[in-house]
Amino acid sequence: MVACDERLEKWTLLSSREVAAFAAVGLHTGHDLLEYFPRRHEDRRRFDAFPTMPTSAPVCLRGGVIDATRRRFGSGGGAYEAVVMDGAGGVFGSGKVTFRWFNMPHVHKWIATGHQVIAYGKVKEQSGRLIIDHPEVEIIREGDAMASIHLERIAPIYKNLTGISQHRLREIIYQFLSQACPQSMRQRHPLPVDIPRDVALHHMHFPEQLEQVAQARRQFAREEFFIMQLNVAWRKSRYHQQLGRAIGQRTTSLKQFHANLTFELTDAQKRSIKEIVADLRSTRPMHRLLQGDVGSGKTLVAMAAMLLAIDSNVQAALMAPTQLLAEQHYQTFCRFLTPLGIRILLKTGSQDRQNYEGDAQAAQMIIGTHALLYESVRFSDLGFVVIDEQHKFGVSQRASFIQQGRMPHVLVMTATPIPRTLMMTVYGDLDVSVLDEKPPGRGELTTSLRVNAKQAETTRFVKEQLAQGRQAYLVYPLVEESESLKLESATDGFECWQKRLTKFRVGLIHGKQASEEKDHVMQQFRSGAIAAMVSTSVIEVGVDVANATVMVVHHAERFGLAQLHQLRGRIGRGADHGYCLLLTDSKNADALEKLQVLERTSDGFEIAEADLRLRGPGDVLGKVQSGIASLRFTDLLGDYVLLAEARALADQFLLEDPALSGKHQYWRAWITDLADDSLLPSTA
Ligand code: ADP
Ligand code: MG
């Protein structure tokens, strides 16, 4: 019996080369090896029939190689083709499929005529032949003593590991499972379980029925989610132990600001401001997320909070992800706050501006872009920090911004609605305020999907709207023409639209322009001098021009769902009806389904859920930000119950043993104190 916490070197069945191969992917102990879970399973008790036409899903075939050829291409590349026939043990049926590999000069060394193979892949048809490109292939060895773990059973298929074949890996794990001490498997992660951990490990690798895999997966996901949630809960409690400054007792400026408003704050805005005030007045530093769909009025909430801060004589700073947005915020802030005599400074790297006489240090509010991190911005006493569209920043950027202050209160804002499961995962260490209500007096917004639309009709519609004094965005996925993608770009579009809209002024804005140029164009659009703006997704975040009511998105399938929702949030901001046309020539069913979601609903949460379903959590959140890259069970991340249980258990453990030094000390080793991984200053 081998104990699972022993290092793999101790296990005599492994060669030192194999130990090194495992070490290279971070597998050092028996536990690590047993938790190298299969990517999928293949039911090798019965194989799929040889196909007679292309398949939309992968098939699993068993057959013999009857012919194999290497082909060279002029440019130095090459292909290797193996023709495989239906049947086992030399008894062939009639089915025939060609396996094909490109640019893999060594394939011919391991697969050749006469081999019996098991293969997995999607079948396509090309010049009358059925082909699987780059199939996953395993050669069946004759007289294999361990054949019973590879064949006539449900076999695990692992992620390929350099230096160890699929076949050998399966053998190693099988042997390890049979020789490892069950007791030591059970000691790992001592959580309440449905089935003993050693049994679950067997089921995970060598199940008798596929249902056993599903059950075991849930159990291991529970472990994994627990560790993740424990880390999140730990960070939150650590953050709350820090001593911050109680501010926000004086409300002179806030009252004045409120009195000057020409409209009422929404109930959601009032509620959020109250929540923030309570946080500021406590010595626990605030660590709050303000979440609200596009146009829900987050800026004013941030402004109110910043006013409270400066009334307590600390500086307040707001960081926005684009120059365009920082500029716009500066203007908005000046409009509302210059009458109150508040000193505001804009820092964007290309230019600084201020609404007062005096030096930068005298600023009460500082608004800027990433420049706030890199430039020699010297804050005199930064006590309150706001990060707008926070998902656009990297973790370390957020952290280094926060570190410019002395335990500042932190408000992060996002317009990306997040399904509650992911909320718990990614923002689990934050308190959350939600703006679930839009300011009144907003026009309706109609979104229409146009597949293969006639240009003349689109042009006519845009012209009609412009003639009524409205403005339009004409959005493209790319700035310049690209050779690989045959898409019309913003610069092409600009020329075309100038010809189409001869009576109107058309502008162009994209990320590659100099910032002065961007500012200039945006200014003219805001003032109405430019009627139609050809743009890329630079206008995605935050841009606020109330008279713009039309948006045409070209090649809409190229954008993400959440991104399109953000984009269309740019229109219908005033009282007039907004129209968003999503143009596509795509025939892809998934792409069309995605776009139809936008036609159907304007509810940010519903869209977020759909996005999660269609793309998976890693893509939705960006792996760096979420830290979910290391998770093995991301497909179960949508399981709210599973996650909520994990969180509840984590909270309970920390309540019982806040420092994880007593009854739950086992778990202390599973806390990763990555300064970079949280909003905590690194000194913590
Ligand atoms: P977002 O949440 O997308 O950042 P903004 O803060 O840009 O939204 O607000 C969108 C628009 O709504 C702005 O023009 C803002 O001045 C306006 N607004 C915000 N709150 C209210 C309110 N309570 N009543 C009317 N208009 C509001
Ligand atoms: Mg905003």
Q: Is the CB of 269 under 6 A from ligand 1?
A: yes
Tokens coding 476? 């493209």
Q: Is the CB of 265 under 6 A from ligand 1?
A: yes
pTM (whole model) above 0.85: no
Residue 671: name the closest of 30, 229, 32 by CA: 229
How do the residues of the chain divide into helix, strand and coil, expressed in percent and rounded to 5?
A: 40, 20, 40
Tokens coding 404? 């410019």
- How many angstroms separate the alpha carbon of residue 293 from the centre of ligand 2? 9
If one residue of 300, 330, 388, 570 were mutated to test the ligand 1 pocket, choosing by the most ligand atoms within 8 A of its CB, it would be 300
Torsional class of 452: left (φ above 0), alpha (ψ -120 to 50), beta (otherwise): left
Average pLDDT, the chain: 87
How far is C-alpha 615 from the geometric centre of its chain's CA atoms? Answer: 9
Whether 424 and 542 map to the same domain: the answer is: no
Residue 317 sits at the vertex; the CA angle it makes with 316 and 321, to the nearest 5 degrees, is: 160
If one residue of 540, 544, 545, 576 were mutated to test the ligand 1 pocket, choosing by the most ligand atoms within 8 A of its CB, it would be 544
| Distance, CA of 148 to CA of 136 (rounded, Å) | 20
Does the pLDDT at position 509 exceed 80? yes
Sheet holding 136-140, edge to edge: 124-126, 129-133, 96-102, 78-86, 59-72, 116-121, 136-140
SS3 351: coil
pLDDT in tens, 58-104: 999 999 999 999 887 766 678 899 999 987 555 556 789 999 999 88
Closest ligand to C-alpha of residue 541 is 2
CATH code of residue 124:
2.40.50.140
Residue 416 lies in a domain: yes
The Cα-based distances of 571 to 16, 294, 416 in angstroms read 63, 10, 17
Q: Mean pLDDT check: name the lowest of 1-5, 617-621, 652-656, 671-675.
A: 617-621
265 CA: nearest ligand 1 atom: 23
| Distance, CA of 105 to CA of 10 (rounded, Å) | 36
Quick one: which H or E segment has residue 435? Answer: strand 431-435
- How many angstroms separate the alpha carbon of residue 292 from the centre of ligand 2? 9
Whether 274 and 346 map to the same domain: the answer is: yes
What does DSSP say about strands 78-86 and 59-72: parallel, antiparallel, or unpaired?
Answer: antiparallel
Residues 6 or more apart whose Cβ sits within 8 Å of residue 643: 225, 229, 421, 424, 425, 637
What does DSSP say about strands 409-414 and 287-292: parallel, antiparallel, or unpaired?
Answer: parallel
Q: Is the CB of 272 under 6 A from ligand 1?
A: no
441 CA: nearest ligand 1 atom: 25
Tokens coding 320? 């926005």
Q: Is the CB of 299 under 6 A from ligand 1?
A: yes
Q: Which residue has the tokens 């949280």?
A: 678
Whether 315 and 391 map to the same domain: the answer is: yes
Q: Which amino acid is at 215?
A: Q
Whether 141 and 287 map to the same domain: the answer is: no
Does the pLDDT at position 241 exceed 90? no
Residue 155: name the closest of 98, 213, 114, 82 by CA: 213
Residue 25 lies in a domain: no
Whether 472 and 553 map to the same domain: the answer is: yes
292 CA: nearest ligand 1 atom: 2
Ranked by mean pLDDT, the top range of 421-430, 494-503, 531-540 is: 494-503
Q: Total domain count for the chain?
A: 3
Cβ neighbours around 663 below 10 Å, total: 9
Q: Is the CB of 328 under 6 A from ligand 1?
A: no
Residues 6 or more apart whose Cβ sits within 8 Å of residue 648: none
Residue 617's pLDDT is 63
Whether 276 and 412 map to the same domain: the answer is: yes
Q: Would you give the DSSP letter of residue 2?
A: B
| Distance, CA of 372 to CA of 320 (rounded, Å) | 10
Q: Is the CB of 465 under 6 A from ligand 1?
A: no
Whether 340 and 428 map to the same domain: the answer is: yes
Whether 484 and 339 map to the same domain: the answer is: no
Residue 418's pLDDT is 72
Ranked by mean pLDDT, the top range of 219-228, 384-393, 481-490 is: 219-228
The Cα-based distances of 373 to 398, 496, 624 in angstroms read 9, 40, 19
Residue 528 lies in a domain: yes
Domain boundary among 548, 566, 584: 584
Range of the domain at 369: 252-435
Residue 592 lies in a domain: no
118-151: buried (b, 16+ CB within 10 Å) or exposed (e) per residue? Answer: bbbbbbeeeeeebbbeebbbbbbeeeeeeeebbb
What does DSSP say about strands 154-157 and 40-43: parallel, antiparallel, or unpaired?
Answer: antiparallel
Q: Is the CB of 294 under 6 A from ligand 1?
A: yes
- How many angstroms separate the alpha carbon of residue 295 from the centre of ligand 1? 5
Ligand 1 atom 21: residue of nearest CA? 439
Whether 431 and 458 map to the same domain: the answer is: no
| Distance, CA of 11 to CA of 395 (rounded, Å) | 40
- How many angstroms separate the alpha carbon of residue 299 from the centre of ligand 1? 7
Domain boundary among 124, 152, 180: 152
Residue 294's pLDDT is 79
Does the pLDDT at position 622 exceed 60? no
Whether 331 and 393 map to the same domain: the answer is: yes
569 CA: nearest ligand 1 atom: 3
What secondary structure, in 3-state letters, does 603-636 show? CHHHHHHHHHHHHCHHHHHCHHHHCHHHCCCHHH
Ligand 1 atom 19: residue of nearest CA? 297
Ligand 1 atom 27: residue of nearest CA? 439
Whether 258 and 363 map to the same domain: the answer is: yes
pLDDT in tens, 434-490: 898 888 877 788 999 999 999 999 999 999 999 999 999 999 988 777 666 667 789
Tokens coding 149? 């773990």
| Distance, CA of 87 to CA of 117 (rounded, Å) | 10
CATH code of residue 477:
3.40.50.300
Provide mean pLDDT across the span 231-236: 87
Residue 558 lies in a domain: yes
Residue 500 lies in a domain: yes
Q: Mean pLDDT check: name the lowest of 104-108, 127-131, 375-379, 556-560.
A: 375-379
Q: Which residue has the tokens 């179960």?
A: 636
Residue 623's pLDDT is 45
Ligand 1 atom 12: residue of nearest CA? 297
Q: Mean pLDDT check: name the lowest of 261-270, 294-303, 392-401.
A: 392-401
Residue 638's pLDDT is 74
Q: Is the CB of 572 under 6 A from ligand 1?
A: no
Closest ligand to C-alpha of residue 390 is 2
pLDDT in tens, 555-604: 999 988 888 988 898 887 777 889 999 999 998 888 898 899 999 988 88
Domain boundary among 548, 567, 584: 584
pLDDT in tens, 194-204: 899 999 999 99
Residues 6 or more apart whose Cβ sits within 8 Å of residue 674: none
Whether 421 and 458 map to the same domain: the answer is: no
Residue 637 lies in a domain: no
pLDDT in tens, 104-124: 878 888 899 999 999 999 999
Q: Is the CB of 416 under 6 A from ligand 1?
A: no
| Distance, CA of 164 to CA of 174 (rounded, Å) | 14
Higher pLDDT, 533 or 643: 533
The Cα-based distances of 341 to 307, 317, 396 in angstroms read 12, 17, 34
What does DSSP say about strands 136-140 and 344-347: parallel, antiparallel, or unpaired?
Answer: unpaired
Does the pLDDT at position 609 exceed 90? no
Residue 9 lies in a domain: no
Residue 399's pLDDT is 80
Ranked by mean pLDDT, the top range of 291-295, 643-647, 678-682 is: 643-647
Residue 580's pLDDT is 95
